[in-house]
Every structure is written in C-alpha cells, then in structure tokens.
C-alpha cells in the first residue's frame, strides 16, 4: 500500500473522528440543528472519496462527512452547514449537515440530493444514464449546430471526455426502498457507469437488519443481472481502498455498474436527535470493529512511527478545533436570503416569432407538441425523450412522439420500463451532466409513483443547492377526462402539482400555445410540467375545434406567466358582466357557453395558459373591470387550485365585486366512473358552465 495514501487516509479519518468528538463535546451548541456523523464508517468513505476525480459525479448521503473531507472539503466548510451559516458552501444554511451540493472545478461534482433515504439512487442513476448517452457519440458530432454556447460545452467537455463515473452512496436500510429497485434495474439494463456503495451498519434507525430485510444489499444485487457486486470489510481502510481501486478502474474502463457492500460499525448516534444509548444493544461488539485502530496499525506496519501517527492525529484535532471557532463566528443568513434561487432565471420573457404563419397548415394539438419536439431535437443534441412506449415501435400511446425515434435514433428516444419514479427523478441526474430530457408519464393518473421524485428531488434542487443545480427538464403529462376513460385514465392532478413549489406548470388549451410553451419550457433552466388534455389532442370532443391551430413557425415561443384574454369585453355600466378564469378544457366550455348564451360581449374569458407562474395581473385587472368572476376547472372543486385562486381573487378584488367569486368543477367524488352517464354527471360541461354563468349573473 502506498504510504502517501495511507497517510492521507489516516489524516482524514482522524479529522472526521475529531469532528464527531468535538460535536459531542459541544452538544448544546451544535445540536440546534440535527446532524449525523460518519464515526465507524470513515474507512470506506475515505477510500471511496480519495479515488474519485473532478470529472466524476458523487451522491453522498447524510452520514458521509468523512467522504466529503476526502474530496478536499475542510472541516470549516462542513461546520458552516452544521451551524446553518450563510456561507455554507452547499446550501447557504438551507439544509442539514452533510447534505452537500457542489460544483467546484477541482472536486467531484455533487448534485443536490435530498434527505429522503435512498431517493438519490434514481437521480444518481440518471446521471450515469446521461454519461452513457454522451459517450454514445451522438452528442458531439454536430455540436456546432446546437444553440447552447460552445464555450459552455468546452467547459463541460473536459468533464465528459474520458471516463467519468457516478458514485451513489447509500445506507443499508435505504436499500429496501422500492425506488432502489428502479435504479438498479436501469443501471443493469443499460449497463451504466455507476458504483452503488452501500454502507451496512446493520441498523435502520432503531430497527435492525433482522427486522427489516430478507437479504443484505450484496445478496439483493444478485437479482439484477449485469449488476456485479462484492462484499467487503468497510472498516478496513486498506481492504476498502484496494477493492474500490479495482471496481472503479473496471467501471471507468468497462462502463458497467457495480455494487460494493461494505460492512461497517456505527459508533456514534444515529443522529444528534436519536441517541445510541436509548436502544443500541451491540455497542461493545461494534467498538471492536472500529476502523481507527485498524488504520493506525496499517500505518505502523508500513513504516510510520507511533510518534508520526500521533502527530498527524494531533494536527487534525487542532485544525478541527480552530475551524469550529471560526465557524461559530460566521454570519447567519439574513431574512432576505430566504427569497433567492427558487428558480434560475429563464431567458424567455417575451412572446416571439410567428404564431400563425400565412399558408401554414392547421394541425391538431397533439401534432403541435410533436412538431415542437422535433424542432427542438433537430437543433439540440442534448435533448432526449423517454417514457413508456414512446420508442420507435409505437411513438407514444397517443402517438404524441410518433416518428421521433426513427428520426433521432433509439439512443435519444427510448422506452423505459414502467417506472414513473425513475422517469421523473432520472432527469435530475441527466440535467446535472448537461442534458435536457423531455420525459412523459403515460397518464396523469400514473404520475403518483413519480410525484415523490418530483417533490423530493426535482423541485428542490435549485433552491437547496443555493442555485447551483437547477434541474432543466420537461415532464409531459396527458391529462383529463373524455370518452369514458374511466377512473384510471381521466383524472386531473393540477392541484397536487401546483402545490409543489420549485416547478413551473403549463396547461394549454390549444395547439399553438402548446407549441410555444413547449419551446419556452425547453429553454427554461428549471423543471416544467406540461399538462396536455387528451380530449383536446385531436379535437374529437364536441366543441373543441378551437384547440386546432395553424401551426406556429419554428421561431415561435410563448413565455410562461402570460395569460391570454381570448374573449375581451369593454367595461359596461348598465349590463352585468363577468370574467371567467380557466385553463385547458375549461376554456372550451367557457367559450362555447358564452356563445350559446349569446353573451360574448358580457363575458370576458381568460385562458391562464400556465398555472405557475400565474398571470395574476391580467386576472385581477379583468375582475376589477367586470365585477364578477367564475373560475372553471375540471377538477373536483373542493380544496382545489381553482378554489385557492378564487379566494385570492376575492381578497384582492373585494371592493370591486358585485357577487362572491364562484367556482365550478367536477363533483367531489373519489374517481371518474367508467359509465358514460356517470362520467358526464361527474365532470363539468358547456351546459353546466352556462347554468353557473346565469346563476352568477343574476346574483
């Protein structure tokens, strides 16, 4: 074993160990915010961390403070997060100790990962999938065509040429999470360059291995053909270093996934809040496996003197103490720091290009989306499209991706297994390696397994990394009821999605808007969900011809947050007027209802186009003019986005209102039944909207 490596490893272990001790000695001060330390896990963490390179991507978990030190971070850096200080290099005081996110040139890249156990496996595997795609060669061939700046790519090139790998670090108990299976499946299926490092201390929190698993991670990995696994003593630095050296070399060269199962003792508390003395019955045995004396002995066996080892340790202790004193005096964030980096700035702020070119054909809404994506993919090699059944054989169950695989190849347009969590969460990693994925869940009804990733990983990455890792992705979601889709192919989900902060949401009512918004979404550096009503895709539903549009030109782009007043009226003194605020299918119900009532000059209709950002200025100005307002939604109205909006309108326009702001939506039943009579009874219609308009007008 190389002496410098041993020395470096020992120094880092002593530093991490000294930090645990210092945190215990200063418990009152440091336990204001929760923390967990690596004590007992140091050897494997350091052995892994020392062998990663700046072009690699690392997803450490909350116990990996020793790994962070081995990347070159200083105790001071970590203590700034421990104390949630403003200059915490990871999150600016926003997230817990040892929850890193970093983009330093000289260190492995650390995309944001959440505090939810195991959930980083999917983003990490997404990053490996991104590397896999980049290495396929299709990206760089015609790079000059891309509108992404060349210097941007040059900067990234140094990371992608050669042989980056991804490290995903996990605790043993997190491996029983269902999402881990999705990640392993994809890594094995696509032979991705990722190392899953499982640190097995035999404990969940207080639940132990006997209670929580039928097999350990090493045995579990055997079920994934193509995922090679080894099991090692993670408390032995030399064994860990050498085993990882081989594994990492193999991944770098052969581009395939590995799982390293490292057995370690947990020698400190689970976290500062859950103390070992409350429930641990194995502490004596655990102490007998302490990695510290093992590594110290390895130093001595390799020619270091006791005095040299003690000197290294003493230096580490002194440094930790000094850094702590410095960190204690560091500044806290200011109240105004709360408000930064919820989103990265988008360049798309104005409507541009030709919306209705002369002589262009009228096309259905589904094709407007398809053509938008085709134009994007032609221009941008970093754009990929994946989801269930979107590949060449079918091109999407709505043919919304038809011909794309044929045009752009199976590397860029591909089917995924039925893994909504992976589809959504992998975009975090894809985006981290510089790609721009467009993904789909097949129906809004099946967004639920993906919602965890959308909320936990996708939506918070920009904010919690203090702006370092915005996630650029588009999630297409076919939504809405029509033609007896039944309880699992009809649901609306916008109230759930709009409750997730950190994402943008479009819900267009027509093809031209969909095309323009798709373009804006692509150039937006933030995550975007596009809700696409299935009943509008082909304008087959009666009264939805308006969703068909002259296809906008390639340069047409429609910014988020600009509503469309599709039916505008004058302010009137002697006639009752109302504003209808709506989106998606509601736009067609409202428009047809106002026509059927012959009240087009009494009813102003606002199509929101995007639910977030929301064009409140246009809404409020209209309601102040008309004096009455109806919000139309397809969702069951209780506790909905529409109700919340109605409340907000009421609050802001109260003095101008002649009636309460009203809402119409579906009936408040748990599901949309299959039977067509029941379906019609459940959801709104032009007739129901008509009746509601009359009720409001006569209030």
Ligand X SMILES: Cc1ncc(C[n+]2csc(CCOP(=O)(O)OP(=O)(O)O)c2C)c(N)n1
| DSSP secondary structure string for all residues of 200-221 | E-SBSSS-BHHHH-SS-HHHHH
394 binds ligand X (CB under 6 A): no
| Residue closest to ligand X when measured from CB atoms | 171
CB of 434 to ligand X, least distance (A): 28
Q: Which residues pair with 245 in a beta bridge?
A: none
Helix (H, G, I), strand (E, B) or coil at 141: helix
The residue assigned the tokens 């994506």 is 373
Helix (H, G, I), strand (E, B) or coil at 59: strand
What is the bridge-based pairing of β-strands 362-363 and 549-550?
antiparallel
Extract the tokens encoding 612.
């977030």
Cα(679)–Cα(487) distance, integer angstroms: 9
CB of 694 to ligand X, least distance (A): 50
234 binds ligand X (CB under 6 A): no
CB of 29 to ligand X, least distance (A): 23
Query: Which one among 42, 64, 88, 204 touches ligand X, defined by CB under 6 A?
Result: 204
205 binds ligand X (CB under 6 A): yes
Instruction: Tell me how crowded residue 12 is: count the other CB atoms within 10 A of its CB.
Output: 27
116 binds ligand X (CB under 6 A): yes
**Residue closer to ligand X, measured from CB, 117 or 633:** 117
Helix (H, G, I), strand (E, B) or coil at 527: strand
Instruction: Tell me how crowded residue 1 is: count the other CB atoms within 10 A of its CB.
Output: 14
CB of 235 to ligand X, least distance (A): 14
DSSP 417: -
Query: Which one among 35, 63, 261, 436 touches ligand X, defined by CB under 6 A?
Result: 63
**Residue closer to ligand X, measured from CB, 174 or 582:** 174
Query: Which one among 45, 91, 117, 640 touches ligand X, defined by CB under 6 A?
Result: 117
Query: Which one among 46, 165, 173, 619 touches ligand X, defined by CB under 6 A?
Result: 173
Q: Is 533 a catalytic residue?
A: no
The residue assigned the tokens 């031209």 is 512
**Residue closer to ligand X, measured from CB, 273 or 345:** 273
Cα(57)–Cα(64) distance, integer angstroms: 15
- Set 489, 533, 574, 588: catalytic member: 489
174 binds ligand X (CB under 6 A): yes
171 binds ligand X (CB under 6 A): yes
Query: Which one among 20, 95, 164, 201 touches ligand X, defined by CB under 6 A?
Result: 201
Cα(633)–Cα(631) distance, integer angstroms: 7
Q: Which residues pair with 385 in a beta bridge?
A: 413, 438
Cα(683)–Cα(456) distance, integer angstroms: 31
172 binds ligand X (CB under 6 A): yes
CB of 20 to ligand X, least distance (A): 14
> Could you give phi then psi for residue 102, rounded to 5 degrees?
-150, 145
The torsion defined by the Cα of 411, 413, 414 and 415, in degrees rounded to 10, comes to 180
Give the binding range for ligand X (CB under 6 A) out of 22-30, 198-206, 403-411, 501-509: 198-206
270 binds ligand X (CB under 6 A): yes
Give the binding range for ligand X (CB under 6 A) out of 11-19, 200-208, 302-310, 507-515: 200-208
Give the binding range for ligand X (CB under 6 A) out of 98-106, 109-117, 481-489, 506-514: 109-117
| End-to-end C-alpha distance for the chain, whole angstroms | 86
Q: How many residues bind ligand X (CB under 6 A)?
A: 14
Give the binding range for ligand X (CB under 6 A) out of 201-209, 460-468, 569-577, 666-674: 201-209
All residues at 6 or more sequence positions from 28 whose CB lies less than 8 Å from its CB, including other chains? none
**Residue closer to ligand X, measured from CB, 96 or 446:** 96
CB of 116 to ligand X, least distance (A): 4
Report CA-CA distances (Å) from 300 to 131, 189, 304, 363, 662.
41, 45, 5, 77, 79
**Residue closer to ligand X, measured from CB, 271 or 484:** 271
Where in the sequence numbering do the catalytic residues fall? 489
Binding footprint of ligand X on the chain (CB under 6 A): 63, 115-117, 171-174, 201, 203-205, 266, 270
């Amino acid at each position: 074993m190389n002496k410098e490596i041993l020395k470096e490893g020992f120094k880092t272990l002593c530093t991490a160990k000294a930090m645990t001790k210092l945190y215990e000695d200063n418990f009152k001060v440091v336990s204001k915010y929760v923390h967990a330390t690596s004590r007992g896990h140091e050897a494997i963490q350091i052995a892994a961390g020392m062998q990663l390179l700046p072009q690699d991507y690392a997803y450490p978990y909350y116990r990996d403070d020793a790994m962070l030190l081995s990347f070159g971070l200083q105790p001071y850096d970590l203590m700034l997060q421990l104390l949630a200080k403003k200059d915490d290099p990871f999150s600016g005081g926003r997230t817990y100790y040892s929850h890193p996110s970093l983009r330093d040139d000289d260190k492995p890249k650390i995309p944001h990962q959440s505090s939810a156990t195991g959930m980083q496996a999917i983003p990490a595997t997404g990053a490996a999938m991104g590397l896999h795609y980049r290495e396929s060669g299709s990206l760089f061939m015609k790079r000059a065509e891309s509108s992404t700046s060349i210097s941007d790519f040059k900067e990234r090139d140094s990371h992608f040429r050669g042989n980056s790998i991804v490290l995903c670090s996990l605790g043993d108990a997190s491996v029983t999470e269902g999402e881990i299976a999705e990640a392993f499946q994809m890594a094995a299926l696509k032979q991705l360059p990722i190392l899953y490092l499982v640190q097995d201390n035999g404990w969940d929190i207080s639940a132990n291995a006997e209670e929580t698993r039928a097999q350990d991670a090493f045995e579990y990995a055997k079920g994934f053909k193509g995922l090679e696994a080894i099991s090692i003593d993670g408390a032995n630095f030399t064994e860990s270093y050498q085993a990882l050296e081989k594994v990492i070399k193999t991944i770098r060269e052969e581009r395939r996934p590995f799982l390293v199962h490292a057995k370690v003792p947990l020698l400190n508390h689970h976290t500062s809040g859950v103390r070992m003395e409350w429930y641990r019955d194995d502490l004596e045995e655990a102490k007998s496996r302490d990695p510290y004396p093992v590594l110290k002995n390895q130093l001595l066996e390799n020619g270091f003197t006791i005095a040299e080892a003690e000197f290294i340790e003493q230096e580490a202790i002194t440094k930790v103490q000094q850094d702590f004193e410095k960190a204690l005096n560091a500044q806290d964030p200011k109240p105004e720091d709360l408000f930064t980096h919820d989103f990265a700035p988008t360049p798309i702020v104005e409507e541009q290009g030709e919306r209705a070119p002369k002589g262009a054909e009228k096309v259905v809404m589904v094709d407007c989306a398809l053509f938008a994506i085709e134009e994007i993919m032609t221009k941008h090699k970093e754009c990929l499209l994946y989801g269930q059944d979107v590949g060449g054989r079918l091109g999407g169950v709505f043919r919304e991706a038809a011909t794309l695989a044929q045009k752009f190849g199976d590397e860029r347009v591909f089917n995924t297994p039925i893994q909504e969590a992976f589809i959504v969460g992998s975009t975090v990693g894809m985006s981290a390696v510089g790609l721009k994925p467009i993904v789909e869940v097949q129906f809004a009804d099946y967004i639920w397994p993906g919602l965890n990733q959308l909320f936990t990983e996708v939506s918070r990455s920009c904010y919690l990394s203090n702006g370092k890792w915005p996630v650029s992705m588009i999630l297409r979601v076919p939504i809405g009821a029509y033609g007896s889709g039944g309880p699992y192919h009809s649901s609306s989900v916008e109230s759930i999605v709009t409750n997730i902060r950190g994402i943008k949401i479009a819900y267009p009512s027509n093809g031209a808007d969909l095309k323009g918004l798709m373009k804006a979404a692509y150039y937006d550096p933030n995550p975007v969900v596009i809700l696409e009503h299935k009943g509008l895709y082909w304008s087959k539903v009666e009264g939805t011809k308006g969703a068909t549009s002259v296809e906008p030109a390639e340069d047409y782009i429609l910014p988020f947050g600009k509503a469309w007043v599709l039916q505008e009226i004058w302010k009137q003194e002697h006639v009752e007027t109302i504003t209808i605020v709506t989106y998606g299918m509601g736009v067609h119900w409202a428009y047809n209802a106002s026509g059927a009532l012959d009240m087009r000059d009494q009813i102003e209709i606002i199509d929101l186009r995007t639910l977030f950002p929301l064009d409140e200025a246009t809404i409020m100005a209209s309601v102040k003019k008309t004096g009455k307002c109806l919000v139309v939604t397809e969702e069951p109205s209780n506790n909905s986005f529409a109700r919340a909006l109605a409340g907000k309108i009421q609050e802001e326009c109260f003095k101008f209102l002649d009636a309460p702001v009203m809402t119409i939506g579906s009936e408040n039943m748990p599901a949309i039944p299959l039977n067509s009579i029941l379906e019609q009874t459940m959801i709104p219609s032009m007739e129901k909207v008509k009746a509601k308009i009359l009720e409001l007008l006569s209030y």
